[in-house]
Structure 1
């Protein structure tokens, strides 16, 4: 697992996952163009996350059964088709169906994460997962910036059509550069048995359940911010452009640094301590975020702290989950990420609904409550002993 191959995985992951987040700075524009009210505009984000959750459960486990290169290339080509459908949608129904399909197929990101983890030596798995996840983080954050800039320059449709072209180019590059079989099938039996084994693993193992619940709460809080922050920023007195709103994704670029640092801390056996510190920061981040309308600097500080904390927890979770049963890495990461998607979908819908009813302070209170719940869950389930180095 050379550094060059690791960086290739990171670029591929970031490019693919960005498609899930393009809509967030565009919610006001999409709602206006397709006559979707403020209270329900969160459905644009929610359906994409629902599709992502279905893909995590039904598609990612195939990495333990099928040839990896063919699976990745096929998903990318289908993803390009879904992006084209969104970019040419003529009514709200076609838009929402296309976005759900984009979410379903964007799970190629997690297939690549599982491949990278399986190729890494055990003593370097945290570093590799951290570096690959930093690509995911960068893709998530730059998605908002790129989406805002393209929408201002050429309209929101250009965002999805441009991404469709880039996805085709990526599919060609991976077809040429990935090994013909990056990993032989690591499980026997059919597809149904594969899915049942994913459910069985989570039902039996406490560690997996705890880390999955942490993911649900943490990414619900993450989605509460990013699925609704465009609403107060686009309204008076701020009235920011798409480009300005998307630029706040750059403020969260510290999350990419957190991903790599958290991976190294996990390799040193400090996973529980890393989780606790990150969840404390996540809870505290909502204090500056509550002052978004009064100060964009407060928003920038809150975004940096929140993204850093979320990604530190996420890398820790993925490292621990994959290390539990490396031969079932695709199933475990796919199952774990289902909870991520459920949290993201529910957070998006709750935030936009709450914003329409009670405004930005209520949204921040919801995010803080979810973050505190994650911190309390970690405290209640962490053994009271020092971690071995």
Structure 2
């Protein structure tokens, strides 16, 4: 439970004082590659109208662009990420990036709606190289610095998510929606070349000697045998439900009076969220000091509080900015702590652990998005904020209950 996890972190740190740390340059390369890969999942959101008009797509088909991208990503979490535990990780990363280049090129050059939809599904499937990179970075980091490394790399993921809409909107305004995917394909190819030259073949643990079917089954059995993994997966589901509740619906009130902002202006809100994501890198350092349980509780409380200023979005731009920063800070802090703790459970199964955990992240994100947009149409922004606060409060209650349970067990 959280208390024992904190103690294990302190013991791991004491054992690893002499282990070499990753250079900051390599860690930042991991962060950039993660952000660039995951951004592909979110590029299309400001571009849907332009893509639909270009290829004469019906509204239903246009909605399928986002749906198939996320379906592909969810499948990749289960089918591709676990391969990091049995394959040469450098080759796996480079191969996925090169295949992602092909998928992005297909999307950019798509002559018909069918080709576009197939390309976006493949793009989502291969974008899970992000999680392969997170597990790889965690495997290369010594336990005493693992929280810091995971914090920096995961910061790249969150920044990629937050800036994807802004970047795609700007590029599309300058050169059309196809230029977004051509630019991403070029950057991805460059990153594949650099990572091939820089990365070692494996992490600190040898690859598992399992067949592919056994590997997938073991992902499920890991959840059955690791209570901490199940708990942290639930935290991940709840915080990303709250995250998605905000980011999937905030454009709706901002496009109405008194703001009436353009899509490009709304996309710039992601720049504000980056402030919170960057500040949350401190969560990794707190984990390394054995404070992961307390960090989680404080972050979940902050997440619940963030919905108070967000409730005043309609009348106060300052309240919106404050709420966005607090929410992104809190979500990132919990996410970094989650990934660092679950990797430490079984470093030899790090890719399976992180891939399985991220399935809950995807479920939470989808739940928040669907619920928030439906609730806004039915009851307005106040109801959306109540929903986000509900997800956040439930996470805090779960944390408090597990802390009390762990304390009671120690007394017995």
TM-score scaled by length of structure 2? 0.86
Shift of residue 333 of structure 1? 0.7
Mean Cα displacement is larger for which, 353-362 or 305-314?
A: 353-362
Q: Confirm whether residue 130 of structure 1 aligns to residue 151 of structure 2.
A: yes
Shift of residue 158 of structure 1? 2.4
Shift of residue 20 of structure 1? 1.7
User: For the Cα contact (< 8 Å) 1:130–1:315, is it kept in 2?
Assistant: yes
User: For the Cα contact (< 8 Å) 2:139–2:205, is it kept in 1?
Assistant: no
Partners in 2 of 1:7 and 1:357 — Cα distance? 43
Larger radius of gyration: 2
Partners in 2 of 1:373 and 1:151 — Cα distance? 39
Among 183, 204, 228, which residue is 2:249 paired with? 228
Aligned to 1:273: 294
Among 262, 275, 298, which residue is 1:241 paired with? 262
Q: Confirm whether residue 354 of structure 1 aligns to residue 375 of structure 2.
A: yes
Shift of residue 264 of structure 1? 0.5
Shift of residue 7 of structure 1? 1.5
Partners in 1 of 2:269 and 2:244 — Cα distance? 15
Aligned to 1:379: 400
Query: After superposition, what is the alpha-carbon deviation per residue over 1:357-380, rounded to whole angstroms, capped at 9, x for unaligned?
Result: 333333222222111111111122
Shift of residue 64 of structure 1? 0.7
User: For the Cα contact (< 8 Å) 1:84–1:164, is it kept in 2?
Assistant: yes
Query: After superposition, what is the alpha-carbon deviation per residue over 1:160-213, rounded to whole angstroms, capped at 9, x for unaligned?
Result: 222122112211221222234556752112011111111111112111101001
User: For the Cα contact (< 8 Å) 1:152–1:241, is it kept in 2?
Assistant: no
Mean Cα displacement is larger for which, 45-54 or 265-274?
A: 45-54
Q: Confirm whether residue 55 of structure 1 aligns to residue 76 of structure 2.
A: yes
Aligned to 2:59: 36
Aligned to 1:70: 91
Aligned to 2:330: 309
Aligned to 1:287: 308
Aligned to 1:210: 231
Q: Confirm whether residue 329 of structure 1 aligns to residue 329 of structure 2.
A: no
Partners in 2 of 1:99 and 1:157 — Cα distance? 13
Partners in 1 of 2:69 and 2:376 — Cα distance? 20
Query: After superposition, what is the alpha-carbon deviation per residue over 1:89-113, rounded to whole angstroms, capped at 9, x for unaligned?
Result: 4666554443332221111111111
Q: Confirm whether residue 7 of structure 1 aligns to residue 28 of structure 2.
A: yes
Partners in 2 of 1:43 and 1:377 — Cα distance? 35
Q: Confirm whether residue 16 of structure 1 aligns to residue 57 of structure 2.
A: no
Among 222, 240, 264, which residue is 1:219 paired with? 240
Q: 5+ residue gaps in structure 2?
A: 1-21
Mean Cα displacement is larger for which, 315-324 or 129-138?
A: 129-138
Mean Cα displacement is larger for which, 157-166 or 353-362?
A: 353-362
For the aligned residues, what is the CA RMSD?
A: 2.5
Equivalent residues, number: 385
Aligned to 2:387: 366
Q: 3-state DSSP class of the match of 2:259? A: coil
Partners in 2 of 1:16 and 1:244 — Cα distance? 24
User: For the Cα contact (< 8 Å) 2:88–2:207, is it kept in 1?
Assistant: no
Mean Cα displacement is larger for which, 63-72 or 365-374?
A: 365-374
Shift of residue 320 of structure 1? 0.5
Mean Cα displacement is larger for which, 174-183 or 260-269?
A: 174-183
Among 285, 293, 299, which residue is 1:264 paired with? 285
Shift of residue 217 of structure 1? 1.1
Mean Cα displacement is larger for which, 145-154 or 232-241?
A: 232-241
Shift of residue 43 of structure 1? 5.9
User: For the Cα contact (< 8 Å) 2:137–2:149, is it kept in 1?
Assistant: yes
Query: After superposition, what is the alpha-carbon deviation per residue over 1:54-80, rounded to whole angstroms, capped at 9, x for unaligned?
Result: 111110110011111211111112222
Partners in 1 of 2:70 and 2:274 — Cα distance? 22
Partners in 1 of 2:118 and 2:276 — Cα distance? 31
